[in-house]
Structure 1
């Protein structure tokens, strides 16, 4: 596939890295020639220096025969103009834009073909906000991901000494769960190395375990298998930028929120935007300020400024002063890997979190969801099975009959996706309904047409092989 990426920032560079590794023809455009040179030294791609919103630059980048345009510059206006040019001048089939402005995101007609012609709008700030919210709901988790529009949850947790499964084989897990619940350990990482799980695999203290179950079962399953943490009640946010403000507004009705912002004008703006959150003007690395605001009583400290070093310093200080749990946004992947597990409980790479939603629109075959795991080292995919036994390599076949590459786990299937299923009650009158039936897979599970199949790839290079398995033959069309 021939792809043009506009913008060589964190998101653009991460997208380029992900797509180059899958043998796509990539051209990246940016006004910063030095930044492009650094990318060219690392990746096999073309680079064009110039304004992405001009026809001449797009033509130089190969827009006349491109398959996809991904506009992820820092400017909404540049991204929108580029998408319109891609459609009206160059007839590029698929156009993706990064957008921050709520005006464009809330009015779908503005993105329609007759207007700015954006096929898919990506708002990384909202994706990261949603991601952090899930981590707050599961404070014991390292990562929380949803599939099939929330029907299935995948949670990464650290195995601890004394846990019910630690020291035991995985095949004993069903004996620890209520009869009506089923779950699957999709993958294990031990000392940063993937351990392919089967029934005889023993869980060890310190293992990073990826546990998958139906959304209504994931919390009780976790309760059975590991020590649960006290639910979060008090949160301190360092940094009132786009993500910090979005998060505060989303959380303040359920949690006690304090926001530390260093810029006076921004702090005043935030104070007018929130309803219940307390806004503090100051420096999150100021030990005296943190102590005055009772950091030791906080359940969670979120370091969300735009500066990696400030986030690491503020998070480390908050932990030393007694905060129970610390999350920090860290743009540099090397930093995120280095700090996690020390004073910082979770280092979040914004580009790696947001890239999954974009990759789902780039991948071959019918890929409904993509999640980057362990900062891009692994991936979890939700693929829709099409065709029949004659045209598909997976439909009508048992899991054990399909030639999966080594390092691939088929964890679950969501079947009858259009069917509403009652999974619980909020009260005597209100039912909780979700779509589809969750099937935790075993070796003899048969894949049917229309199934949403959730696949875990312990190495990124396996993704292309899995996608090829789900591509249907010519006769299907």
Structure 2
């Protein structure tokens, strides 16, 4: 598959790394020679210096043979123009990164496909949707629903009082006789562990389970927590992410948004009638206390400064907030979230890159998501009639050790998959896989 990436910023570079692991034919275009040099040193990709709106540059990149062109420069105008030109020059599919969300809300009326843009993405809007997903349950650090909740991926921290501590996967199976959940990953410090029979739980582990919905409360108990919902939350920062988050959350939760720019506050108040907009510096502890931060179930820091977001979340935790989410620019920070006390760190560019990445997957993939801080991806495949996965029982499939099958959805019911499980056509299979073996996993479903 030939993929052209216009723009080698954080989104473009991360995409290039993911695609390189897939063995795709990648061409990178950017006007900055230093960015291209850095990328070329780390990924196996051809590089072209120049503007992506240039006919000559696109021709040199082989646009007429491109399966996908992704325009993710810092300029919305360049991205839109590049996608349109590339489509007319023969690119099979085009994706443009945009910042003007009117394009998202009005894309059907604008008929962008007719112009030559197959899909548009807004990192800010995607980040807001990610925040909404993360707020489903206070005690859960991450969650993802498969088939409207028939199976759920949940992440929890193992507390000191958890009865799981010291137990192996085999021992845990004995207290889970109905096999209503399965452990699919353990984040221990910076290491992502795919668990098998003799793997044991330790205090402080950040564990991910695939579970039937009725077992979520049981899992919270076993991890030393109790089920709690979110009712009230505070957002720090009236950035585009903050605005989008407040807009989609204020119809469900009591939302307070703090922004230090007074003019922006007036604009936000006009556009967010269901949220309370407060003018002030969110780094001021007295202000947070005046606004009853101790009564908040969640605190979301999305200012333009990563350090401010992290520190504000730590302060919020100290003041009694149960769940904190910080937006960071440096992707390396994401792995630190649990160890320093922030429940979840998100990076809007990483979210956007992972969203785009689903367009280059092989096999019958239904959905794909990344887990914050975990060196793995969750994929959902639909089994085809003659797929390799149908040929033997699970224990005899020689499934890659760097991946694990967490469950299957069959005939409207979510099931876990013991060793004697046999897959059938039309099954929807949930897989967690480390990046290096995703291509091998895909071969079981093609």
What TM-score, normalized by structure 2, do the two folds share? 0.90
Q: State the match for 2:217 in structure 1.
A: 220
Could you tell me which of 238, 263, 266 is aligned with 1:265? 263
Q: Which has the higher contact order (CA 8 A, sep 6+)?
A: 2
**SS across alignment from 1:96:** strand
- Deviation digits for residues 398-447 of structure 1 (CA, Å, limit 9, x no counterpart): 1122121222211111224xxxxxxxxxxxxxxxxxxx322211111111
Matched, 1:467 2:445: no
In structure 2, C-alpha distance between the alignment counterparts of 1:149 and 1:7, rounded to whole Å: 35
In structure 1, C-alpha distance between the alignment counterparts of 2:413 and 2:341, rounded to whole Å: 41
Q: State the match for 1:190 in structure 2.
A: 188
Task: Decide whether the 8 Å contact of 1:333 with 1:375 is kept in 2.
Answer: no
Q: State the match for 2:96 in structure 1.
A: 97
Q: State the match for 2:366 in structure 1.
A: 368
Q: How does 1:320-339 map to 2 (within 5 A)?
A: 320-339=318-337
Q: State the match for 1:408 in structure 2.
A: 403
Change (3 A) 1:353 1:256: same
Structure 1: tracts of 5 or more residues without a match? 417-435, 472-477
Change (3 A) 1:21 1:174: closer
Q: State the match for 1:444 in structure 2.
A: 420
- Deviation digits for residues 360-409 of structure 1 (CA, Å, limit 9, x no counterpart): 21112222222223446211211222232xxx322242112212122221
In structure 2, C-alpha distance between the alignment counterparts of 1:126 and 1:146, rounded to whole Å: 19
Change (3 A) 1:96 1:152: farther
Task: Decide whether the 8 Å contact of 1:183 with 1:221 is kept in 2.
Answer: no
Return the offset for 1:277: 1.7
Q: How does 1:297-376 map to 2 (within 5 A)?
A: 297-375=295-373
Return the offset for 1:343: 3.8
Return the offset for 1:339: 4.7
Return the offset for 1:175: 5.9
Q: State the match for 1:397 in structure 2.
A: 392
In structure 2, C-alpha distance between the alignment counterparts of 1:264 and 1:35, rounded to whole Å: 37
**SS across alignment from 2:154:** strand
Q: State the match for 2:430 in structure 1.
A: 454
Q: How does 1:22-421 map to 2 (within 5 A)?
A: 22-89=22-89, 91-106=90-105, 107-108=107-108, 110-111=110-111, 113=113, 115-148=114-147, 150-173=149-172, 176=175, 182-214=180-212, 216-217=213-214, 219-226=216-223, 227-228=225-226, 230-375=228-373, 377-388=375-386, 392-416=387-411
Residue range with higher mean Cα deviation, 60-69 or 368-377: 368-377
- Cα-Cα RMSD: 2.6
**SS across alignment from 2:245:** helix
**SS across alignment from 2:388:** coil
Task: Decide whether the 8 Å contact of 2:94 with 2:117 is kept in 1.
Answer: yes
Residue range with higher mean Cα deviation, 235-244 or 31-40: 31-40
- The aligned length equals 444
**SS across alignment from 2:312:** helix
Change (3 A) 1:302 1:414: same
Residue range with higher mean Cα deviation, 153-162 or 181-190: 181-190
Change (3 A) 1:183 1:343: closer
Return the offset for 1:325: 3.3
Structure 2: tracts of 5 or more residues without a match? none
